[in-house]
Structure 1
Amino acid sequence: MKSKIILEDIKIYAYHGVLQEEAIIGNHYVVNAELHADLEKASQTDNLNDTINYAQVNEIIHQEMAIRSELLEHVIGRIINKIESKFPQITFIRIKLTKTIPPMPGEMKGVSLEFEKEIN
């Protein structure tokens, strides 16, 4: 059975970016995470130990977003590594990180980076 856990549109205020003012002013970010794992056992047992605790995934995302980085790529890499090490049953991770008000001219919804990792 293919199973997915999807955390959608987690809104976090953080201080990432190359520009000095980004470290001072901060920005609004939106994080989306998709995790694949075989969760069939949990569908039978109703036991939290047989699934991925998405509250813990959310906590990891918040912890890593609180650590300042210049590059969003670095933030996403840390999130993926931490989730992967905490939940070895995961076979696929997708993280999308959006900076909602990037310091660039023009009106836009935001700038996003998305990483996917297949885990064997």
Structure 2
Amino acid sequence: MQQDIIFIKGLAVNAVIGVFDWEKEIKQPLVFDIDLYTDLKQASESDNLQDTVCYKTVSDDVIALTEASRFDLIESLAEQVCEHVLSTQPGVKALKLTLNKPDAVPAAQSVGLNIYRQR
């Protein structure tokens, strides 16, 4: 199977997330990078949106899910996002998600995680 990638880089969302009491009272910035592993051959031949994964739909879903969430850990949010994408986007065979929490550690540009999930 061909492994092509549709990517979403720097998707910025504000969310209530964190383990400390003060974190549960404010929205903090999160930044997602998402690689969607799929087969783009049919879409490249048909030039039809129905034959690919719509990155706007995925982006809108990630934003909505993140804004509505109230997790303590970014690990939990990342897993929820992956599960949602895999369950709603049949063309996505796997995804790699990078989740940055840029304001979490003042001395660091950003902290975060990378996870990879597949069907």
What TM-score, normalized to structure 2? 0.92
1:117 aligned partner: 117
State how far apart, in whole Å, the 2-side matches of 1:90 and 1:12 are.
22
Stretches of 4+ aligned residues off by more than 6 angstroms? none
Q: Which amino acid counterpart does residue 117 of structure 2 have in structure 1?
A: K
Q: Residue in 2 aligned with 1:93?
A: 95
> Which ranges in structure 2 are unaligned for 5 or more consecutive residues?
none
TM-superposed CA distance for 1:87, in Å, is 1.1
Tell me what 2:63 maps to: 62
* Superposition pairs of residues 1-120 of structure 1, within 5 angstroms: 1-66=2-67, 67-102=69-104, 104=105, 107-119=107-119
Give 1:73 deviation, angstroms: 0.9
Cα separation, 1, equivalents of 2:27 and 2:109: 17
Question: Matched residues in 2 for 1:98 and 1:64: separation?
Answer: 16
> Aligned equivalents of 1:63 and 1:33: distance in 2?
15
**SS, match of residue 49 in structure 1:** helix
Identity %: 24
Which amino acid in 1 is paired with 2:13? Answer: I
